[in-house]
């Protein structure tokens, strides 16, 4: 686990330590605005073929312009390509959105001083429990994303926070919970209240159009994400 990420893992769902990742950054100006608004991580889609995919040239420009940790988002890349992309991005965290195996994750983790987050598409509680059983020994964080047919994620689809909230205590103190999927400034407080995440992950919810972030929406999102104490949830 990278030192930066290790310092931010301070127990299960402590609101004072809530991190915000702005994902789908496509240009330097938006990356700078996200950092200025208070983002802790900048996410970039390095695998090609998606609406917010960017070139390695753009990655290099963004990395040179900001100080916040960069999270490359990868989908089914071969291991050497994943390493190359992550090194180009000077990654502290790598987010995997494909059908990677545990052996793949272990090999990638050994190749650099970075943490690994594995994204899963969530319909309900079952997918989360299955992901914990499968991935907890191998990754540093699990990204809960909304399920949408035929896609690896990143569709802005919300999942049932109320149902998943009861699973939160199943996450060990060493495993981060990252919540994505349909978040925006109007609903992030509810998501934080129900799920007590370590990190919230937003992309389309702070955009004026695909790939273009809105500075005001990012500021509203940061403010609302960090504006309340966790509500009580039930237990399994």
Q: Is 231 within a domain? A: no
Q: Is 188 within a domain? A: yes
Q: Is 154 within a domain? A: yes
As for how many domains the chain has, the answer is 1
Q: CA–CA separation, 140 vs 229, rounded Å?
A: 25
Distance of CA 201 to the CA centre of its chain: 5
Q: Is 204 within a domain? A: yes
- Of 76-90, 164-178, 207-221, the range with the lowest mean pLDDT is 164-178
On whether the CB atoms of residues 219 and 181 are closer than 8 A, the answer is: no
pLDDT at 16: 57
Q: CA–CA separation, 200 vs 85, rounded Å?
A: 24
pLDDT at 17: 86
pLDDT at 147: 59
Q: Is 104 within a domain? A: yes
- Residue 135 sits in a domain whose CATH number is 3.20.20.70
Q: Is 166 within a domain? A: yes
The predicted-structure confidence for 45-61, as pLDDT tens digits, reads as follows 999 999 999 999 999 99
On whether the CB atoms of residues 59 and 89 are closer than 8 A, the answer is: yes
The predicted-structure confidence for 62-92, as pLDDT tens digits, reads as follows 999 999 999 999 999 999 999 999 999 999 9
- For the cut 90, the answer to whether the pLDDT of residue 104 exceeds it is yes
Residue linked to tokens 């407080």? 189
- The domain containing residue 15 runs over which residues? 3-225
Q: How confident is the model at residue 191 (pLDDT cuts 50, 70, 90)?
A: very high
Q: How confident is the model at residue 136 (pLDDT cuts 50, 70, 90)?
A: very high
On whether the CB atoms of residues 216 and 181 are closer than 8 A, the answer is: no
- For the cut 50, the answer to whether the pLDDT of residue 12 exceeds it is no
Query: Which residues are within 8 A (CB) of 153 and not within 5 positions of it... i.e. 6 or more apart?
Result: 97, 119, 121, 143, 145, 146, 180, 181
Q: Is 235 within a domain? A: no
Q: Is 230 within a domain? A: no
């Amino acid at each position: 686990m990278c030192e930066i990420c290790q310092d931010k893992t301070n127990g299960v769902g402590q609101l004072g330590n809530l991190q915000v990742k702005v994902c789908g950054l496509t240009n330097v100006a938006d990356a700078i605005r996200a950092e200025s608004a208070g983002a802790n991580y900048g996410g970039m889609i390095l695998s090609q073929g998606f609406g917010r995919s960017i070139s390695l040239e753009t990655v290099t420009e963004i990395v040179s312009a900001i100080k916040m940790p960069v999270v490359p988002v990868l989908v089914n890349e071969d291991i050497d390509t994943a390493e190359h992309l992550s090194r180009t991005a000077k990654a502290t965290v790598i987010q995997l959105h494909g059908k990677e195996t545990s052996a793949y994750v272990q090999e990638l983790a050994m190749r650099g001083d970075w943490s690994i987050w594995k994204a899963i598409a969530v319909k309900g509680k079952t997918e989360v429990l299955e992901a914990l059983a499968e991935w907890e020994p191998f990754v540093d964080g699990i990204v809960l994303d909304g399920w949408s047919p035929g896609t690896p994620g990143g569709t802005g689809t919300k999942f049932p926070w109320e149902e998943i909230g009861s699973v939160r205590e199943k996450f060990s103190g060493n495993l981060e919970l990252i919540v994505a999927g349909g978040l925006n400034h109007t609903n992030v407080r509810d998501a934080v209240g129900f799920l007590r995440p370590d990190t919230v992950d937003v992309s389309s919810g702070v955009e004026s159009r695909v790939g273009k972030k809105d500075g005001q929406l990012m500021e509203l999102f940061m403010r609302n994400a960090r504006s309340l104490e966790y509500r009580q949830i039930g237990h399994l």
